A and B are shown apart, each in its own frame.
Chain A
Amino acid sequence: MPISPRACPRALAVWTAVLGGCSSVVVETDIAYDERFDVAKLDVYSPPPAAGRRPAVLVVHGGGWHEPLERDGMADHAQRLAEAGYVAFNLSYRLVPSGGEFPHAVQDCLCALAWVRAHADAYGVDPERIGALGYSAGGHLVSMLGTAAAAPVVAPDCAAGATGPVQAVVSGAGPQDMALLPQVDNVIAFVGAKKTDDPQRYADASPLSHVAPGVPPFLFVHGDSDWFVDIEHSKRMGAALDAVGTENRILEIPGGGHIWNRGASGGTWDLVTSIDTPQSWAAMIDFFDHTIGPVP
């Protein structure tokens, strides 16, 4: 049977689409949100243009506030959020020991949020419908974006200036009460003091301390066998939010760890985080849809 000359390029296009995953998301990388620091960059994951403005999600990586983990680890999450219709901003921030000590990492995240709001028109984003998703240290930082945006102790000094809180927070295994964390080097170096030497600094660095009426809704995703960040962090934060009348939910993963969770086979522990399970994704998207959604 003769092959049409048009069939080859068509087949090639189909194969290219298969290899490329057929994604319609446009990714812009290495955009500076604070020119003062080389690390203060973000990647933008934009869904196809829509008729109306879109909600957006700031994606904040973890890694114990320390080098060397950066935003690459959350690229898949940003991509999937964008494919679900959200404009995703995957950001890096200063890390210990290169300037990320509290409150600088929090200030960087606030600067990124202010930058996103300032550039909302350019990306077709609704500046009043911005959520945040973070894991581990990133869960702590996005919780601070929800509760501490107006706190003088973390007031940013970048060109983008101060901004209000995000409108929804998804904290995956995020520390909420720094005093609950064990006194290991990572924590002491990030906070800048031992707990016994400066308890006020631990309070300042804790999202729990900044809970007040009017903070945005929270979703907590946490494994109940998390040895790094005990699930008690999320439960205490949930109780504090209950006390001020703020909507919050918790998805507990039975037997779930911080970086070891079950994959498709129930017979293995896989090196994946608690926000990677099908149940976590279902809850996260549903939460964003009803807090900052819908997507156009």
Chain B
Amino acid sequence: MSVALPAIISAAIATHPELASEPVLEHAITVAVPSLDGLRGAQIAYERWFPAHRISLSASVQLRQAARGDYIGMRAGGGGELRWFWRATSFLGPHPDGSMIGWFLAARIDVNVDGTHDLISDRWISTTLEVGTSALIGYRLAPWRGLELTPYGGLTWRRDVDLSGRLPSWSRGAIAGGVTIGWLF
């Protein structure tokens, strides 16, 4: 399998030589797979490539049902991410060197508002401002035309601020991982 996969990809590239000579694609739309877990939300991002500096900037929005049962919890927020692609090349796919592919390091910030409603007593019990920062490492694959898959992992740190003032603010660090699927264009 490990021998066969590169051979298949090489054959696919050989059958589409025009792709290798195409200009570098500078835009991407991606969906974060973890945000779809449970089919109760999504995080969608637009990413812009600056090939001269091998960096990309992305902006994302997310909306999610974060609690149910005897409560309704909603989260809405936005985020930004800066990625620096190390060599901007990948052995896996038809895109030319200098594309936003391959290994990258990223810094990310997210700002969300989380609301929690108690259905039994029919009242909002909390609104929390959540600020998160992440340091990530990842690898973008673009194995077929514009299709991209990007697994990544790293460390995150978040700060929850209860806007009602009942709960003290607190911080939480964690190991994190995820993957996006999207389209380069």
A contact residues vs B (CB 8 Å cutoff): 76, 79-80, 83-84, 224-225, 249-256, 262-272, 276-283, 285-286, 289
Query: Chain A binding site: helix, strand, loop or mixed by DSSP?
Result: mixed
- Which of B40, B45, B108 touches A254 (beta carbons < 8 Å)? B40
CB-based contact B174/A283 at 8 Å: no
A264 with B110: in contact, given A279-B66, A286-B126 (CB under 8 Å)?
yes
- Residues of B in contact, count (CB < 8 Å): 57
CB-based contact B71/A268 at 8 Å: no
Contacts of A256 in B (CB 8 A): 38
A279 with B32: in contact, given A263-B156, A265-B43, A268-B156 (CB under 8 Å)?
no
Min Cβ gap B159→A in Å is 8
- Which of B128, B134, B158 touches A282 (beta carbons < 8 Å)? B128
Query: Chain B binding site: helix, strand, loop or mixed by DSSP?
Result: strand
Interface-facing stretch out of B9-17, B20-28, B84-92, B160-168: B160-168
CB-based contact B41/A266 at 8 Å: yes
Q: Give the complex CA separation of A262 and B42 in angstroms.
A: 12
Q: Give the complex CA separation of A272 and B75 in angstroms.
A: 17
Counting from the closest, the 9 A-B pairs by CB-CB distance are A264-B132, A255-B38, A282-B126, A267-B32, A279-B73, A266-B43, A255-B37, A266-B35, A266-B62
A253 with B67: in contact, given A225-B38, A265-B79, A278-B114 (CB under 8 Å)?
yes
CB-based contact B156/A270 at 8 Å: yes
* Residue B180 lies at the interface, judged by CB distance under 8 Å to chain A: yes
CB-based contact B167/A282 at 8 Å: yes
CB-based contact B167/A279 at 8 Å: no
B contact residues vs A (CB 8 Å cutoff): 32, 34-35, 37-43, 45, 60, 62, 64-71, 73, 75, 77, 79, 108, 110-112, 114, 116, 118, 120, 125-126, 128, 130-134, 152, 156, 158, 160, 162, 166-168, 170, 172, 174-178, 180
Residue of A nearest to B156 (CB): A263
Min Cβ gap B93→A in Å is 22
Q: Among the interface residues A254, A278, A279, which one has the most CB atoms of the partner chain B within 10 A?
A: A278
CB-based contact A251/B37 at 8 Å: no
- Which of B39, B118, B120, B168 touches A83 (beta carbons < 8 Å)? B168
A267 with B116: in contact, given A251-B70, A281-B167 (CB under 8 Å)?
no
- Which of B35, B64, B125, B156 touches A286 (beta carbons < 8 Å)? B125
Contacts of A252 in B (CB 8 A): 67-69
CB-based contact A272/B174 at 8 Å: yes
CB-based contact A267/B43 at 8 Å: yes
- Which of A80, A84, A268, A283 touches B116 (beta carbons < 8 Å)? A283
CB-based contact B125/A283 at 8 Å: yes
CB-based contact A279/B116 at 8 Å: yes
Q: Give the complex CA separation of A50 and B128 in angstroms.
A: 27
Q: Give the complex CA separation of A264 and B136 in angstroms.
A: 14
Q: Give the complex CA separation of A224 and B39 in angstroms.
A: 12
CB-based contact B35/A262 at 8 Å: yes
CB-based contact B178/A276 at 8 Å: no
Contacts of B134 in A (CB 8 A): 263-265, 268
Q: Give the complex CA separation of A265 and B176 in angstroms.
A: 10
CB-based contact B130/A285 at 8 Å: no
CB-based contact B126/A253 at 8 Å: no
Residue of A nearest to B124 (CB): A282
Q: Among the interface residues A256, A267, A277, which one has the most CB atoms of the partner chain B within 10 A?
A: A267
CB-based contact B71/A283 at 8 Å: yes
Q: Among the interface residues B39, B128, B131, B170, which one has the most CB atoms of the partner chain A within 10 A?
A: B170
- Which of A250, A269, A272 touches B70 (beta carbons < 8 Å)? A250
Q: Among the interface residues A79, A254, A263, which one has the most CB atoms of the partner chain B within 10 A?
A: A263
